[in-house]
Structure 1
Amino acid sequence: MNYRIYIVEDEEKIAQSIRSYLQQYGYDVFVVQEFTKVIEEFTSIKPHLVILDVNLPYQDGFHLCRQIRQLSSVPILFLSARASEMEQVMGMESGGDDYITKPFHLEVLHAKCKAILRRTYGEYAREEGSIEPIIRVGELTLHIGKMEMDYGGQVQSLTKNEVKLLRLLMERAGKVVTREDCLEALWDDIDFVDDNTLTVNVTRVRKKLGKWNLDHLIQTKRGVGYIFDINGLEETR
């Protein structure tokens, strides 16, 4: 499959370097043409992955990420000179799937692209659609293929990473899941993961569960990991 990658980067030299490098591996790579029409270009290209800078003309990458998230769950990889932890947290909270800081190595960028595409569209994605597509704990149901969860007749959509994380915790409900296991479930190569990204994803899932007053279901076991508290769900009912 020829994956389409859409690069939204205002430094022409960097954008073309990424484009040339990724094209060597068979990707169809598109570079933004007009920064006032990013959403229009995105809709036309229908990319499988977006590489998105933060500092852009007219509007920043965080805002664009939120706009894309209203249209699609396509994976978004932030690429930015903003290296602070807060900036990376903002990227994840905006709907991003990963974050690379400049300067960077093209080899690492490619590795992250491969990992994201593999878990989104490759063998791991097919596994999610065919093996145990629904997980139910009490009245909370996770629909893996649909990327959503429901409780009491209400439905909320989830991102790919939120589905992977919640699936792991619900499958092992009542047992402690280590941070390492969570990282391996979310990313294919633990060497390329910022541990802070896991914390952000846990926070995002808790926030969505909190809309049903279920945020207490995911409890932190300090220094170890997390546990999906079955008793907490029974108490809520």
Structure 2
Amino acid sequence: MFKLLLIEDDTTLFHEIKDRLAQWSYDVYGINDFSTVLQEFTAIKPDLVIIDIQLPKFDGFHWCRMIRAHSNIPIIFLSSRDHPTDMVMSMQLGADDYIQKPFHFDVLIAKVQAILRRVYNYSTNTIELKTWCGATVDYERNTVINDKGAIELTKNELYILKLLIEQKNKIVTREELINGLWDDKRFISDNTLTVNVNRLRKSLDELDLGRFIETKVGQGYMAVEEANAYD
């Protein structure tokens, strides 16, 4: 049974969502104190977080940053606000999806199921380990390891890296990456993808691997082997 953390201060909506998700055998937890969200998240250890943007004390963006500093767990934002910048901000912070209120419960459930399937069944359709530029990429554990150390990637970072190294020395278009990363692409800009790729490079720089992700201007990105890379 998957554990979901629902960070929603509207009590009525919280119980409606909880009851609907419970029908699909999800174990749903709430927050007791909205000033200690990170502590409760750490104690619960959920498999997925659903978080409202407008919350007491600090907004959902703040808690997304805090969670992302500690975990690559999938995150879905809920919001009654309809400004495109909210969606862009959520994606740039590493959220997996954004749902605007009011929403149909079937849509929420479908998105939860799709994300859980994509994240936690990752190894069912792929080789679990991949070797690239002398490093081992573990798709199941979201890690990259070489003789310089080990790093843990977020879900988005791992997806981008996986797509690039599975087609190494070939250009993967920006459109292909965006289509794979986000189900709702209405407000996703090229800049949002650029931010995610730059975060991946920054993570890989800890292992001296960031330079092997090349930008192909006007086209997309390409992962190269060490022998083909340049400083």
Pairwise same-fold verdict (TM > 0.5): yes
Aligned counterparts of 1:26 and 1:102: Cα–Cα separation in 2: 23
The answer (yes or no) to whether the contact 1:150–1:156 under 8 Å persists in 2 is yes
Deviation string for 1:174-229 (max 9, x for gaps)?
Answer: 11224454356546xx5x4554465543343234346648357232453x543334
The amino acid that maps onto 2:45 is K
Do structure 1's residue 80 and structure 2's residue 79 form an aligned pair?
Answer: yes
Any residues of structure 2 matched to 1:1-237 within 5 Å, and which? 2-122=1-121, 124-128=122-126, 131-136=127-132, 138-139=133-134, 141-150=136-145, 153-179=148-174, 181-183=176-178, 185-186=180-181, 190=183, 192-193=184-185, 195-196=188-189, 198-209=193-204, 212=208, 214=210, 217-220=213-216, 222=218, 225-230=220-225, 234-236=229-231
Instruction: Provide the secondary structure at the position in 2 that maps to 1:100.
Output: strand
Instruction: Provide the secondary structure at the position in 2 that maps to 1:235.
Output: coil
Stretches of structure 1 lacking an aligned partner (at least 5 in a row): none
More helix by share: 1
Instruction: Provide the secondary structure at the position in 2 that maps to 1:117.
Output: helix
CA drift of 1:154 comes to: 4.2
Distance change >3 Å, CA 145–CA 81, structure 1 → 2: same
The answer (yes or no) to whether the contact 2:211–2:229 under 8 Å persists in 1 is no
The amino acid that maps onto 1:70 is A
Aligned counterparts of 2:43 and 2:225: Cα–Cα separation in 1: 45
Instruction: Provide the secondary structure at the position in 2 that maps to 1:226.
Output: strand
**Higher mean Cα deviation, 96-105 or 50-59?**
96-105
Distance change >3 Å, CA 71–CA 214, structure 1 → 2: closer
CA drift of 1:24 comes to: 1.7
Stretches of structure 2 lacking an aligned partner (at least 5 in a row): none
Instruction: Provide the secondary structure at the position in 2 that maps to 1:18.
Output: helix
Aligned counterparts of 1:213 and 1:41: Cα–Cα separation in 2: 35
Distance change >3 Å, CA 213–CA 6, structure 1 → 2: closer
The amino acid that maps onto 1:41 is E
Distance change >3 Å, CA 232–CA 66, structure 1 → 2: farther
- What is the total number of aligned residue pairs between the two structures? 227
The answer (yes or no) to whether the contact 2:78–2:98 under 8 Å persists in 1 is yes
Aligned counterparts of 2:41 and 2:212: Cα–Cα separation in 1: 37
The answer (yes or no) to whether the contact 1:79–1:101 under 8 Å persists in 2 is yes
Aligned counterparts of 1:83 and 1:226: Cα–Cα separation in 2: 31
Instruction: Provide the secondary structure at the position in 2 that maps to 1:68.
Output: helix
The amino acid that maps onto 1:50 is V
CA drift of 1:88 comes to: 2.4
Instruction: Provide the secondary structure at the position in 1 that maps to 2:137.
Output: strand
Aligned counterparts of 1:86 and 1:163: Cα–Cα separation in 2: 25
